[in-house]
């Protein structure tokens, strides 16, 4: 018995000597001291659940202002480009459309105005609206923070405040963004919980608008294109020379008016821009279908845990919390009453 007591006392003394005062980090969430080995890079508080990293020092980049200036320039450029497409398209297309039929001109004018307002307004909301702020929580003191109030919260050393698991710090904007998808330089803002819907609405409106611009420019351009004049010799089989066709096309292109040149430029630009926007829209909708953001997709590339893929994710994203099948019984009741 004496040997067993001596062995227990020796073991307890060994544990006490291994724990030094320097290895008692303080939880930033509740302020409690926790004992852990010196080799532990991070630890999770057993009371509030906050995650603390040791020896983490982060500073804002010196290029912060230049990145902000770059984003503002992109936003100004896109606004000027959109107004150029709207104004130039109106000037080049609608005099010809109204000359064909006044009713057709009025109809296309209404469509163009609606698409212009939709595209510019959604772009402005995505650019100038807050991308998403996390809720304010109590932290820093044990009496204020309850048990489990900060589960999986980390401390942002850039903002010097708590960061929720769904939050990511954007070093370009200099803030923590809730449900951040990515930072888009073309809108000069992050895409997060506060403006993600507006960003998707802008992409949809821009894609539809570019398709409309391409169709109208092609239609009016074919009506106003100078006629071809073929000057070629035919061979024995009666086939014309391909060189004569190319020469006729170039001769007619030289005779184009400024309106025709503008229509050709708008057509090529709308096709190229629409291709890029369509790819980005498909990518965004695919991530929403998977129930995650672009940053979550990058983090989960090496993991074996796939997200829940369901169309309900897209429905909930656009503000419909319930499935369409929820309303099917009501529709069925209305149909039965109608039959009676």
pLDDT for res 337: 46
Any residues with CB less than 8 A from the CB of 207 and at least 6 apart, and which?
A: 274, 277, 278, 281
Q: What is the 3-state secondary structure (H, E, C) of 51-63?
A: EEECCCCCCCCCC
pLDDT for res 257: 72
Question: Which CB contacts under 8 angstroms, 24+ apart, belong to 250-255?
Answer: 252/225, 252/226, 252/227, 252/228, 253/226, 255/226
Q: Which of 45, 48, 173, 184 is catalytic?
A: 184
User: Does residue 48 contact residue 152 with C-beta atoms inside 8 Å?
Assistant: no
184 is catalytic: yes
pLDDT for res 340: 39
pLDDT digits (tens, 9 = 90+) for 172-203: 888 889 888 889 888 989 998 889 999 999 99
pLDDT for res 104: 84
pLDDT for res 253: 56
Percent of the chain with pLDDT over 70: 69
pLDDT for res 308: 67
pTM of the model: 0.76
In the chain, which residues have pLDDT < 70? Answer: 1-24, 35-40, 54-62, 226-256, 297-310, 320-340
Any residues with CB less than 8 A from the CB of 165 and at least 6 apart, and which?
A: 152, 153, 154
pLDDT for res 21: 46
pLDDT digits (tens, 9 = 90+) for 298-327: 666 545 445 566 677 777 777 755 444 554
pLDDT for res 207: 96
Exposed, middle or buried by CB within 10 Å (0-12, 13-18, 19+), for 315?
middle
């Amino acid at each position: 018995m004496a040997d067993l007591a001596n062995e227990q006392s020796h073991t307890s003394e060994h544990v006490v000597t291994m724990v030094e005062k320097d290895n008692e980090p303080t939880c930033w969430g509740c302020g409690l001291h926790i004992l852990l080995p010196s080799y532990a890079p991070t630890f999770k508080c057993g009371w509030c659940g906050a995650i603390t990293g040791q020896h983490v020092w982060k500073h804002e980049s010196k290029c912060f202002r230049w990145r902000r200036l770059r984003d503002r320039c992109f936003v100004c450029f896109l606004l000027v480009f959109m107004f150029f497409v709207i104004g130039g398209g109106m000037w080049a297309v609608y005099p010809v459309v109204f000359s064909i039929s006044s009713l057709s001109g009025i109809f296309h004018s209404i469509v163009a105005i609606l698409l212009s307002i939709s595209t510019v307004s959604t772009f402005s909301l995505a650019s100038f609206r807050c991308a998403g702020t996390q809720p304010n929580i109590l932290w820093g003191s044990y009496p204020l923070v309850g048990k489990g109030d900060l589960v999986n919260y980390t401390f942002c050393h850039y903002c010097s405040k708590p960061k929720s698991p769904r939050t990511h710090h954007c070093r370009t904007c200099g803030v923590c963004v809730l449900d951040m998808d990515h930072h888009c330089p073309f809108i000069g803002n992050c895409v997060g919980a506060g403006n993600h819907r507006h960003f998707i609405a802008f992409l949809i409106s821009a894609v539809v608008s570019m398709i409309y611009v391409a169709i109208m420019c092609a239609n009016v351009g074919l009506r106003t294109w100078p006629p071809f004049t073929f000057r070629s010799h035919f061979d024995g089989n009666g086939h014309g020379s391909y060189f004569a066709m190319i020469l006729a096309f170039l001769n007619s292109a030289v005779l184009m008016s400024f309106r025709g040149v503008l229509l050709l430029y708008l057509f090529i630009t709308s096709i190229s821009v629409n291709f890029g926007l369509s790819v980005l829209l498909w990518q965004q909708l695919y991530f929403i279908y998977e129930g995650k953001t672009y940053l979550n997709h990058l983090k989960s590339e090496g993991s074996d845990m796939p997200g829940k893929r369901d169309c309900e994710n897209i429905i909930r994203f656009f503000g419909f919390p319930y499935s369409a099948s929820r309303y099917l019984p009501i529709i069925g009741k209305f149909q039965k009453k109608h039959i009676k």
